[in-house]
Amino acid sequence: MQLINTKKDLKTYLEGLSESTSVGLVPTMGALHSGHISLVERAVRENHVTIVSIFVNPTQFNNQEDLEKYPNTLEADISLLSSVTENLLIFAPSAAEMYSDKISSKSYNFEGLEHVMEGEFRPGHFDGVGTIVEKLLRLVSPHRAYFGEKDFQQLQIIKKLVRITDIDVEIVGCPIVREPNGLAMSSRNERLSKDQRKEAGFIYQTLKAAKKEFGTKSADYVMDWVRKEFETHPDLKLEYIKIADVDQLQAVTTKNNSQEYRAFIAVYIGDVRLIDNIAL
Ligand SMILES: Nc1ncnc2c1ncn2[C@@H]1O[C@H](COP(=O)(O)OP(=O)(O)OP(=O)(O)O)[C@@H](O)[C@H]1O
Ligand SMILES: CC(C)(CO)[C@@H](O)C(=O)[O-]
Ligand code: BAL
């Protein structure tokens, strides 16, 4: 296990690898849990060398309080990663290291993917994600980079990012890892009380029921049904429910059997915002 904090040391490490060494990159914001570990394990299986980046990227936070309260657990992250394998490089730079003098985002055109759902409710978020992921991909030049389907819209945007920037990397999407009650694992879950964590299981239970409804009902019907279900749980504030196709992330008008759809949801519990989705 090696911990590196600077771009210079990262470059030196990468220059020491032979041409035939395949590199897997797992970008994270730390506060690691089993969801992250599933990405790391896959990267370790599929590459000679795995690099895990840990960087809480300021430019993707549209809400200052969310950034300030984002959990920071570097020591625990290092020990969790060492329990997977010792053959890992952790890259944990500072904001100054990643952004030099100016902490700001580039502006991207992700062909509409960035304007819906997370993009609508977190203005500028995907410019921030695009900026940091592009920087990381250019620094590391990995053969493969791993992202979770919990952030499905982010995964689609990163696939678009590498196409529009012509970065040669395989983007690997990994399934959502859940708590026993169905709650999608997320670093922000650490901010929930025991009772809130229990109650948050309702999000996935409702998505599963919505999937069943979607078998025979229209998307509009199912979304209305979900909204009504949340009215019975006033501690959970539904921000959005959207049924969309997985390619363009556009709302469904008429169901088409050859198209894949997902239901996407964002919910507040107190001031903690959680997202989830399910394949329909
Ligand atoms: N439950 C999960 N299952 C699979 N992948 C996950 C899960 N949670 C996070 N990931 C993936 O891990 C990578 C790093 O995510 P990140 O560090 O933001 O953690 P997070 O748990 O999503 O935190 P939060 O959503 O609270 O910011 C992303 O690609 C994300 O999609
Ligand atoms: C991809 C990412 C590491 C970029 O900061 C972040 O958005 C995340 O953890 O999902
Ligand atoms: N996992 C997505 C990163 C974010 O919420 O900013």
Q: Is residue 243 domain-resident?
A: yes
Residues 106 and 233 in one domain: no
Own/partner contacts of 118-124, CB < 8 Å, gap of 24 or more, are: 118/151, 118/153, 118/154, 118/266, 118/275, 119/153, 120/240, 121/239, 121/240, 121/266, 122/60, 122/62, 122/63, 123/62, 124/59, 124/60, 124/62
Q: Which positions are catalytic?
A: 36
| Selection from 198, 187, 209 nearest residue 69 by Cα | 187
Question: How many domains are there within the chain?
Answer: 2
Spatial CB neighbours of 279, under 8 Å, sequence gap ≥ 6: 211, 246, 260, 261, 262
Q: What is the pLDDT of residue 133?
A: 98
Q: Is residue 44 domain-resident?
A: yes
Q: How far apart are CA 211 and CA 207, in angstroms?
A: 6
Distances (CA, A) of 278 to 118, 139, 267, 273: 16, 33, 14, 17
Q: With left for phi above 0 and alpha for psi between -120 and 50, is residue 88 left, alpha or beta? A: beta
Q: What is the pLDDT of residue 87?
A: 85
Residues 147 and 11 in one domain: yes
Residues 48 and 132 in one domain: yes
Q: How far apart are CA 196 and CA 269, in angstroms?
A: 7
Give distance in angstroms: CA of 267 to centre of ligand 2: 19
Residues 117 and 247 in one domain: no
Q: What is the pLDDT of residue 41?
A: 97
Residues 236 and 269 in one domain: yes
Q: What is the pLDDT of residue 70?
A: 86
Where does ligand 3 bind, in terms of residues with CB under 6 Å?
A: 60, 151, 154
Q: How far apart are CA 265 and CA 48, in angstroms?
A: 36
Give distance in angstroms: CA of 199 to centre of ligand 3: 21
Question: Which residue puts its alpha carbon closest to atom 8 of ligand 2?
Answer: 28
Residues 25 and 148 in one domain: yes
In the chain, at which residue ranges do the beta strands (DSSP E only) sit? 2-4, 23-28, 49-54, 88-91, 144-148, 170-174, 236-245, 261-269, 272-279
Residue ranges of the annotated binding site are: 29-36, 60, 148-151, 154, 177, 185-188
Q: Is residue 182 domain-resident?
A: no
Q: What is the pLDDT of residue 174?
A: 98
The structure tokens listed for 1 are 């296990």
Q: Which atom of ligand 1 is nearest to the CA of 29?
A: 17
In which domain, by residue range, is 224 found? 187-279
pLDDT tens-place values along the chain, 280 residues long? 999 999 999 999 999 999 999 999 999 999 999 999 999 999 999 999 999 999 999 999 988 898 998 888 999 999 999 999 888 999 999 999 999 888 999 999 999 999 999 999 999 999 999 999 999 999 999 999 999 999 999 999 999 999 999 999 999 999 999 999 999 999 999 899 999 999 999 999 999 999 999 999 999 999 999 999 999 999 999 999 999 999 999 999 888 889 999 999 999 999 999 999 999 9
Residues 47 and 136 in one domain: yes
Q: What is the pLDDT of residue 95?
A: 95
Q: What is the pLDDT of residue 54?
A: 98
Residues 40 and 145 in one domain: yes
CA 86, distance to chain mean position in Å, is 25
CA 189, distance to chain mean position in Å, is 14
Question: Which residue puts its alpha carbon closest to atom 2 of ligand 3?
Answer: 151
Where does ligand 2 bind, in terms of residues with CB under 6 Å?
A: 27-29, 57, 60, 129, 132-133, 151, 154
Reduced to 3 states, what is the DSSP secondary structure of residue 61? coil
Q: Is residue 91 domain-resident?
A: yes
Residues 78 and 119 in one domain: yes
pLDDT in tens, 85-119: 888 999 999 999 999 888 999 999 999 999 999 99
